Amino acid sequence: MKALVVANWKMNPPTFREAKKLLETTRKAADATEHVTLVVAPPAIFLRELRARHKGKKIAFALQNASAEESGAYTGEISLAQGADAGATYAIVGHAERRAMGESSDDTQKKVAAALAANMTPILCVGEATRTASAEYFGVVKEQLRIGLADISSSQLGSVIISYEPVWAIGGEKTMSPRDMHEMAIFIRKTVVELHGEKGMGVKIIYGGAATESNAANMLRDGDVDGLLVGHVSVDAPRFAALLQAIEDAT
């Protein structure tokens, strides 16, 4: 089975010229692999032109964020339909950086349902801000899953991806251990089964939170995940190429 790698460029790079160059180097790195499914999430302002320039099937595109509303007086927002029209087939929902800016779990609930209605694959991000010995972070993740998946049916679970991203690791070089991720993956599947029945056992889970070329292979091998949500490393072309190669070498 191929590993799903989502390259979240965040608010990078600053110019379209640089975005074109980054996509080209990313494409070449992807072309050197056989066991990776790659999704690129560029800034929305670059999405349509980047998608138009990429004619192959090796790379799919994602929105970093979108409104659950179909249209209307929502200045500055982008609808999922607009994103789909620009070429996106995935949508990141509830990223920790969006939650930090005020996005609630109720918002993620609406966006997950709206993405599915728009025939897009939602990537629902869940994760705790801090981790302590009392393990209350399990409750945080469970609640985010309960609300985020509340408006979908069990038959739709196969069209949803869960990205576990421990907030304390995002943007850095220190990740959690694959063993701890394996434990969390078991907990996520158990929670989804409790919410939606046995089909929850097949839910796709990816890891996001300091995913780098150094830990990618170990996380996929021992972390019980189907892929990675990659942040800052995805806009560093040599490091991202090394990450994809590390995955390829491990499969």
Tokens at 98, concatenated: 């969006």
d(CA 28, CA 24): 6
Q: How far is CA 170 from CA 7, 34, 232, in A?
A: 14, 28, 9
Instruction: Confirm if 37 and 227 have CB atoms less than 8 A apart.
Output: yes
Tokens at 211, concatenated: 């995913």
Q: Which of 165, 196, 213, 232 is catalytic?
A: 165
Residue 140 one-letter amino acid: V
**14: which residues sit within 8 A by CB, 6+ positions away?**
none
213 is an active site residue: no
Instruction: Confirm if 192 and 157 have CB atoms less than 8 A apart.
Output: yes
95 is an active site residue: yes
On the question of a cis peptide bond just before residue 13, with omega within 30 degrees of 0, the verdict is yes
Chain position carrying tokens 């349902």:
113
d(CA 161, CA 115): 12
Single out the residue of 96, 144, 92, 95 nearest to residue 120, CA to CA: 92
Buried b (16+ CB within 10 A) or exposed e, 185-196: bebbbebbbebb
For residue 83, the cross-strand partners are: none
Q: Which of 95, 97, 196, 232 is catalytic?
A: 95
Query: Which residues are known to be catalytic?
Result: 95, 165
